Amino acid sequence: MTAILIDGKAIAQDLRANIAKAAADLSQQHGIVPGLAVVLVGADPASEVYVRSKSKAVIDAGMRSFDHKLPDTTSQADLIALIGRLNADKDVHGILVQLPLPDHIDSSVVLNTIDPGKDVDGFHPVNAGRLATGQRALVPCTPYACVLLAKRVHGSLAGLNAVVIGRSNIVGKPLAQLLLAENATVTIAHSKTRDLPGVCRRADLLFAAVGRPEMVRGDWIAPGATVIDVGINRVPGDAGKTKLVGDVAFAEAREIAGAITPVPGGVGPMTIACVILNTLRAACAGAGLPEPQV
Ligand code: GUN
């Protein structure tokens, strides 16, 4: 059996169109144009690419984008002062500080100064706590993307065995919480997990978020399982070029899985869509409005 390809690019386009419609309604009915401030410190080329695509997605959705590009010599105090101004700015509904930050800046200290109501990355401990306790929260965009993709395949995730490989604060832990909120039975696997292939073979839903190229092999996957690959790894390709691969050995996995995300074109485009979705959600929550339906 060859797996169904989960077309993250097409699904994200569809979601972005719905977000644009909801943003237009918000503007017409309440005079609110959602705005996202993206802060980039330094000139990491990968970060510059991400930041550009986020800003473009925001503008394409009819929202406002406020870009702040700071030199890598920026002090932690100056960065925190900028966040303070963005927290107070009525036109800014979402704030995203692109990671990684330069070594002389403590990311946790900086991220904890973002107003939790504007924290579109969902990294603030208040949002992590809200997610864990089932309250309305801004949730991290990559895990959010993963769950939306899994729901596209299954509708309901209730009762499914979900295995998440990776326990980072950005992906693994919040993904496990989101899956629990969807009533899945959740296992978090990591580098110390015994018999990782055996644990993975029990998964109806397998999420790979370890950052190790093609670590998950075809024979780790239960026949018919849904595989969501969060990895984006640059490896040597043909003719001295590089190529992007996921954390899953795609060619093997697609012969066994029931559905699988490609890399690129799977989780990545959906993550960008979730950044603008969170900006819309933050704008609605900030105005005391209900969750937008998109
Ligand atoms: N760098 C890599 N992934 C992310 C992310 O999800 N959010 C932010 N702010 N920076 C990142």
Taking only the tens place, the pLDDT of each residue in 106-126 is 999 999 999 999 999 999 999
What integer pLDDT is reported at residue 215 of this predicted model?
Answer: 98
pTM of the predicted model, to two decimals? 0.97
Between the alpha carbon of residue 261 and those of residues 9, 231, 233, 248, the distances in Å are: 10, 11, 15, 10
- Residue 147: CB partners within 8 Å, gap ≥ 6? 157, 175, 178, 179, 182
Question: Which structural domain range is residue 244 located in?
Answer: 141-267
Q: Is residue 219 part of a domain?
A: yes
Instruction: Indicate which CATH number applies to the domain containing 158.
Output: 3.40.50.720
**Which is nearest to 92 in space by CA: 80, 77, 82?**
82
Q: How far is the CA of 44 from the centre of ligand 1 (A)?
A: 12
Instruction: Indicate which CATH number applies to the domain containing 41.
Output: 3.40.50.10860
**115, 119, 121, 247: the active-site residue:** 121
What integer pLDDT is reported at residue 29 of this predicted model?
Answer: 98
What integer pLDDT is reported at residue 1 of this predicted model?
Answer: 76
What integer pLDDT is reported at residue 293 of this predicted model?
Answer: 95
List, for the chain, all residue ranges whose pLDDT scores fall below the cut of 70: none
- The answer to whether residues 197 and 226 belong to one domain is yes
Domains held by the chain: number: 2
- The answer to whether residues 256 and 185 belong to one domain is yes
Known active-site residue 121: yes
Q: Ligand 1 pocket test: which of 101, 170, 270 has the largest number of ligand atoms within 8 Å of its C-beta?
A: 170
Q: Is residue 3 part of a domain?
A: no
Write the residue with the smallest CA distance to atom 8 of ligand 1: 98
User: What is the tens place of the pLDDT at every residue in 47-61?
Assistant: 999 999 999 999 999
Three-state DSSP at 190 gives coil
Cα angle, residue 35 at apex, residues 30 and 41 outer, rounded to 5°: 165
